[in-house]
């Protein structure tokens, strides 16, 4: 009779921001033999504190896939939650931001009066500020003097797209470049769309399309993967 142990299916550990489900790092893979115990130590992330855990932080390796997701919230955030069925109705020109942070520069294109924008995320800070992320990923600081929150759009057309220009075919390759050491590259469903995965830095990728945003930002489509920002890419040919 053989006493050889069978290799267990790896345990996958993901780190995400609560509410937005944004990835905060590369997934970790824990390996071991079937029946052996495992115990996950929650990693610390600068600027974040742990919020909750989905899955079991301790258990035993088995012949089935086990997934653990650790959710974090920014240390200056009191609450963050996804929103559906609510709109920002803009009554006066309003600045937007790439991040819910007034210390950053506003986006070049503000929201104009008498427009409606679907809300995807609401974020409350520990300082009592309320931010709303609209459907094209921009952030808006709530100000009742320039906007209202509605359960349906007042206008017949909803202003979901930030852009109306088209991507063009692009044939080339590039190497993914991280903005910080060991930081994964975010891949989106479309320019200014939702995050769908991450890829490791220094990976060589094949590019099929490019979109030039008039504000100066370029987006590239990776064959069969999704879209990345041009700042995360070094063209190789």
Residue 69's CATH number? 3.10.20.320
Same domain, 137 and 177: no
Residue 163 lies in a domain: no
Same domain, 53 and 98: no
Same domain, 83 and 135: yes
Among residues 214, 211, 212, 210, which one has the least CA distance to residue 173? 210
pLDDT of residue 161: 45
Mean pLDDT computed over 33-58 = 90
pLDDT of residue 75: 86
CB proximity list for 74: less than 8 A, separation 6 or greater: 17, 47, 48, 80
Residue 168 has which token pair? 């063009």
Q: Supply the pTM of this predicted model.
A: 0.51
pLDDT of residue 159: 54
User: Is 80 exceeded by the pLDDT of residue 40?
Assistant: yes
pLDDT of residue 163: 45
Higher local confidence (pLDDT), 155 or 53: 53
Confidence of residue 162 (pLDDT cuts 50, 70, 90): very low
Among residues 209, 224, 216, which one has the least CA distance to residue 166? 209
What's the whole-number average pLDDT of the chain?
Answer: 84
Residue 201 lies in a domain: yes
pLDDT of residue 70: 92
Q: Which domain holds residue 64?
A: 11-74
pLDDT of residue 39: 93
Same domain, 124 and 188: no
Per-residue pLDDT reduced to its tens digit, 65-116 = 899 999 998 888 888 887 888 899 999 999 999 888 888 899 888 999 988 8
Mean pLDDT computed over 134-139 = 84
- Within 13 Å, how many C-alpha atoms sit on residue 216's CB side? 3
Question: What's the CATH code of the domain at 176?
Answer: 2.30.30.40
pLDDT of residue 21: 78
Neighbours of 42 (CB within 10 A): 13
pLDDT of residue 143: 92
User: Is 70 exceeded by the pLDDT of residue 149?
Assistant: yes
3-state helix, strand, coil split of the chain in percent (to 5) is 0, 45, 50
Q: Are 116 and 149 in contact (CB under 8 A)?
A: no
Among residues 195, 182, 183, 188, which one has the least CA distance to residue 230? 188
Q: How many domains does the chain have?
A: 3
Same domain, 98 and 116: yes
Give dist(CA 138, CA 162) in Å, integer: 9
Length of the chain: 237
Per-residue pLDDT reduced to its tens digit, 170-229 = 999 999 988 666 678 888 887 766 677 888 888 899 999 998 865 567 889 998 888 988
Higher local confidence (pLDDT), 204 or 126: 204
Any bridge partners for residue 118, and if so which? 87
Question: What's the CATH code of the domain at 127?
Answer: 2.30.30
User: Is 70 exceeded by the pLDDT of residue 121?
Assistant: yes
Give dist(CA 81, CA 98) in Å, integer: 18
């Amino acid at each position: 009779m053989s006493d050889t142990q069978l290799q267990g299916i790896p345990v996958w550990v993901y780190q995400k921001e609560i509410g937005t489900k944004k990835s905060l790092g590369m997934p970790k893979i824990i390996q071991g033999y079937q029946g052996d115990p495992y115990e996950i130590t929650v990693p610390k992330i600068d600027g974040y504190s742990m919020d909750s855990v989905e899955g079991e932080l301790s258990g035993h390796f088995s012949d089935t896939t086990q997934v653990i997701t650790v959710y974090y919230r920014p240390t200056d955030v009191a609450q963050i939650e996804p929103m559906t069925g609510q709109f920002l109705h803009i009554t006066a020109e309003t600045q937007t931001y790439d991040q819910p942070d007034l210390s950053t520069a506003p986006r070049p294109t503000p929201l104009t009066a008498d427009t409606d924008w679907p809300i995807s995320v609401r974020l409350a800070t520990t300082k009592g500020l309320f931010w709303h992320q609209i459907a094209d990923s921009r952030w808006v600081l709530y100000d009742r003097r320039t906007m209202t929150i509605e359960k349906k759009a007042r206008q017949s057309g909803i202003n979901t797209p930030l852009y109306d220009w088209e991507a063009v075919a692009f044939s080339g390759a590039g190497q993914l470049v991280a903005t910080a050491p060991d930081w994964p590259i975010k891949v989106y469903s479309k320019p200014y769309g939702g995050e769908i995965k991450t890829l490791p830095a220094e990976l060589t990728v094949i590019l099929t399309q490019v979109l030039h945003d008039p504000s100066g930002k370029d987006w590239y489509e990776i064959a069969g993967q999704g879209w990345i920002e041009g700042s995360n890419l070094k063209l190789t040919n």
